[in-house]
A and B are shown apart, each in its own frame.
Chain A
């Protein structure tokens, strides 16, 4: 059983469209992180959220942590081909350990 469920698993959109992907769990996390992974590379940290209800923005990316700290969403505005990648959410699970979801594969078509 996956601790963190991400949906949708795969999403293909046209350049300029908006998209939202989700990360859900039945567990409460003290913090949650989003990473982006490109082919042939390791995941790269995008953001860390720690407070229930917190919203963080990174250029066209908006991250929200649920009030109960069990879920999170990532919204991309006016997607560009450079946003293509596997988006992974990860929750702190024990002392300095992260559990990862399987990821949201996003493809932005020019």
Chain B
């Protein structure tokens, strides 16, 4: 298995532009998570899906952020409009049906820089 695949690896965009981050979870994993990592705040959960359904989006900073999971093999995180304070590394992770005993598998992340 190729693991959790995220794209792009790096994104530099200007303030006000729309940014879309993509994630392909491990096949057979039924939970998908979006995290944001910064030096100041560490890893913060933004939203998670179970069987493609959003369960908890209380971590999404504001209405500029949205996430979708149209099928079991693909999810997107969109920021519109982007702001410099959104600069961070965004991680996608998935976990198996069996639950936390197997832990999360993380992708390599997308480093977003908003200038």
Residues of A bordering B, CB below 8 Å: 2, 31, 33, 35, 40-45, 48, 50, 88, 92, 94-103
Contacts of B31 in A (CB 8 A): 96
Contacts of B43 in A (CB 8 A): 43, 88, 100
Known: A48-B101, A97-B56, A100-B42. 5 other contacts (CB 8 A): A31-B100, A42-B107, A95-B55, A96-B48, A98-B100
Cβ of A42 and Cβ of B106 under 8 Å apart? yes
A-facing residues in B72-101 (Cβ within 8 Å): 91, 93, 95, 99-101
Cβ of B100 and Cβ of A48 under 8 Å apart? yes
A96 to B55, CA, bound (A): 11
Cβ of A92 and Cβ of B42 under 8 Å apart? no
B45 within 8 A of A: yes
| Centre residue among B100, B105, B108 by max chain A CB count within 10 A | B100
Pairs A-B, 5 closest by C-beta atoms: A42-B106, A45-B103, A102-B42, A100-B43, A43-B106
Cβ of B108 and Cβ of A99 under 8 Å apart? no
Contacts of B4 in A (CB 8 A): 42
Q: Classify the interface of chain B: helix, strand, loop or mixed.
A: strand
Interchain nearest-CB distance for B53 vs A (Å)? 13
25 example contacts (A-B, Cβ-Cβ < 8 A) are as follows: A31-B100, A40-B108, A40-B109, A41-B109, A42-B4, A42-B106, A42-B109, A43-B43, A43-B91, A43-B104, A45-B102, A45-B103, A48-B100, A48-B101, A48-B103, A50-B101, A88-B42, A88-B43, A92-B100, A96-B31, A97-B45, A97-B48, A98-B100, A99-B45, A100-B42
Q: Classify the interface of chain A: helix, strand, loop or mixed.
A: loop
**CB-contact partner of B100 in A33, A40, A100, A103, under 8 A:** A33
B52 within 8 A of A: no
A103 to B35, CA, bound (A): 15
Interchain nearest-CB distance for A93 vs B (Å)? 9
